[in-house]
Chain A
Amino acid sequence: MVRALGDFDLAEELVQEALLEAVEHWPAEGIPQKPGAWLLTTARRKAADRFRRQARYREKLAQLEGEGMGVDTAEGDDRLRLIFTCCHPALSREAQVALTLRAVAGLTTAEIARAFITSEATIAQRIVRAKRKIVEANIPYRVPAAREMAERLAEVLAVLYLMFNEGYLATAGTRASRRDLAEDAAWLAGLMVRLMPEEPEALGLLALMRFHLARVETRFDESGGLTLLQDQDRSRWDRERIASGISLLKRAAVLRRPGPYQLQAAIAACHAEAPSWQHTDWRQIIALYDSLLALTPSPVVQLNRAIARRYLDGAESALDEVAALADPLDNYYLFHATRAELLRDLGRDAEARRALIRALSLTENPAERALLEHRLA
């Protein structure tokens, strides 16, 4: 430990914590076959958890869990068992998220409560209830069998994606604590990739998160207002993260099992690699949306496809495509905001205004409201 960390006090403290954990676990679960190895593994895991939260240790963290570095099998299996149990479909999504952050990512209940802007008591209760259900309903602590793996892995990835969006989509004010949540979700996705390196959708999800995080600094202006993708300063995008996202996507592609996360990541990659909004490969993006729609038909994806068409075929054809979505998306603010943009492009200002007002009535998010109000003015 001391050798790995170069910090004796810290190593000692972490081993102490591991010993405490042993005192808690061993009486109930029995002493492991190699107690020494167990302690070291636990201490290492604790070190990783701790470093993740401290930027100055990021480099060491990279050493401890470099992507190329395998996780030793026993420890890996243990962590996977934990993840799959925390994300068991018999638990509510809220409980899955809280439990995963607590037990896998090592966050305190206070940190989780801050990230979700709720009280510590609420999170603590959520976790207690989830643990109780695991015991009382006898949710097994194991990695799912091959025949249920696809479904169970999808569940885990859905939990991580929701966690990421909670953090990433957060707006001004609560941003700092929630951005950590996006980083935590990305860390967990990275853990999944290390533990299950042959799962293309895990790779796709991690790539998607990397592309989003690469431009996290440019999403808001100094006053906390939302800056849209087309207006972001691309020179400030994190090129390293983009490059790692691309290489993850390549690894996924080799496995030849496309899926929604890989496709969404590929769309994000098109944006990340485009030199400017004008020089974006819209044809490629539309083709990717078509593949995505073939896998998971959804009116929101169709709306995004229509937005891309605006830049390839013009506002008129995009508006036709948007109009067809009126029924399922009438209560979705982005539907009306998109219509407003297209109507304005076509010089139909009065209709554009009405659409903007409708959009404004459908969102509570202050940054989104500010943007719409700005367009109305």
Chain B
Amino acid sequence: MKYVLLFTDSKDRARQWDAMPEAQRQAAYGAINEWFGKYSTRITGGHELQPERTATTVRFNNGKPVVTDGPFIEGKETIGGYAEVNVSDLDEAIAMAKEWPTGGPVEVRPVIDRGEPQR
């Protein structure tokens, strides 16, 4: 069964991340890479996203598209990336999320399976 893990982070921590010296950031990436390595057989896709400042949102006002700067969610958290995983059940997806190393909340969502061929 497929799930998407949405990796989020508090905006404060996202800013810290941006301001981090390169060496420190590399070390932090090390832990993330390790996570991806450990679960490589389960991970079927996913990406890290550019920071929120690069986001553009298209809204629809009475069906008319309006382009605005910024993310669509104005909250304390920001989405930093996602991974698509193929595991047996929710417990396995949760176990992966529990080991996510950045400290940010991870949202686990099942993917609707319409029987597409597996990649």
- A interface, CB within 8 angstroms of B: 88-90, 136-140, 144, 148
- Cβ–Cβ contact A136 & B94, under 8 A: no
- B interface, CB within 8 angstroms of A: 1, 88-91, 94-95, 108, 110
Residues of B within 8 A of A138 (CB): 1, 89-90, 110
Q: A270–B50 Cα gap in the complex (Å)? A: 60
Residues of B within 8 A of A89 (CB): 94
Report the nearest B residue to A89, measured CB to CB: B94
Q: A137–B111 Cα gap in the complex (Å)? A: 9
- Cβ–Cβ contact B94 & A90, under 8 A: yes
CB distance from B19 to the nearest CB of A (A): 33
Specify the main secondary structure of chain B where it touches its partner. Answer: mixed
- Cβ–Cβ contact A140 & B89, under 8 A: yes
Known: A89-B94, A90-B94, A148-B91. 11 other contacts (CB 8 A): A90-B90, A136-B110, A137-B110, A138-B1, A138-B89, A138-B110, A139-B90, A139-B91, A140-B89, A140-B90, A140-B91
CB distance from A117 to the nearest CB of B (A): 32
Q: A345–B21 Cα gap in the complex (Å)? A: 60
Report the nearest B residue to A141, measured CB to CB: B89
Residues of B within 8 A of A136 (CB): 110
Q: A137–B94 Cα gap in the complex (Å)? A: 11
Residues of A within 8 A of B1 (CB): 138
Residues of A within 8 A of B110 (CB): 136-138
- A-B contacts, 16 of them at CB < 8 A, read A88-B90, A90-B90, A90-B94, A136-B110, A137-B90, A137-B110, A138-B1, A138-B90, A138-B110, A139-B91, A140-B89, A140-B90, A140-B91, A144-B91, A148-B91, A148-B95
Residues of A within 8 A of B89 (CB): 138-140
Q: A89–B89 Cα gap in the complex (Å)? A: 14
CB distance from A80 to the nearest CB of B (A): 15
Q: A72–B53 Cα gap in the complex (Å)? A: 60
Q: A138–B113 Cα gap in the complex (Å)? A: 12
Q: A90–B95 Cα gap in the complex (Å)? A: 12
Q: A148–B88 Cα gap in the complex (Å)? A: 16
CB distance from A87 to the nearest CB of B (A): 13
